[in-house]
Chain A
Amino acid sequence: GENVEQHPSTLSVQEGDSAVIKCTYSDSASNYFPWYKQELGKRPQLIIDIRSNVGEKKDQRIAVTLNKTAKHFSLHITETQPEDSAVYFCAASRSTDSWGKFQFGAGTQVVVTP
Chain B
Amino acid sequence: DVKVTQSSRYLVKRTGEKVFLECVQDMDHENMFWYRQDPGLGLRLIYFSYDVKMKEKGDIPEGYSVSREKKERFSLILESASTNQTSMYLCASSFTGFMEAFFGQGTRLTVV
A and B interact physically:
yes
Q: From DSSP, what is the main secondary structure of chain A's interface residues?
A: loop
Q: How many residues of chain B have a CB within 8 Å of chain A?
A: 28
A72 to B50, CA, bound (A): 27
Against A, the Cβ 8 Å flags (1 = close, 0 = not) of B29-48 are 01101010000111111001
A99 contacts B35, CB within 8 Å?
A: no
How many residues of chain A are within 8 Å of chain B by beta carbon? 27
Give min CB distance, B36 to chain A, whole Å. Answer: 11
With A9-B40, A43-B104, A106-B40 given, is the CB distance from A100 to B45 under 8 Å? no
Binds A, one of B11-19, B64-72, B92-100: B92-100
Q: Is A59 an interface residue (CB 8 A)?
A: no
Indicate if A104 sits at the interface (CB-CB under 8 A): yes
Contact of A99 among B31, B43, B92, B104 (CB under 8 A): B31
What is the bound-complex CA distance between A93 and B98, given in angstroms?
9
Contact of A97 among B43, B98, B106 (CB under 8 A): B98
Within 8 Å of chain A (Cβ to Cβ): is B52? no
Contact A32-B98, Cβ < 8 Å, known A1-B59, A101-B48, A102-B33: yes
Kindly count the residue-residue contacts between A and B in the assembled complex, taking CB atoms under 8 Å apart: 73
A101 to B41, alpha carbons, bound, how many Å?
18
Q: Are B98 and A105 in contact (CB under 8 A)?
A: no
| Cβ B96 vs Cβ A104 within 8 A | no
User: Is B96 a contact of A98 with CB atoms below 8 Å?
Assistant: yes
A51 surroundings in chain B (CB, below 8 A): 98
Interface centre among A6, A44, A49, A105 (most CB of B within 10 A): A44
- Scan residues 46-69 of chain A and give those whose CB is less than 8 A from a CB of chain B: 46, 49, 51
Contact of A100 among B40, B98, B103 (CB under 8 A): B98
CB of B87, distance to nearest CB on chain A (Å): 15
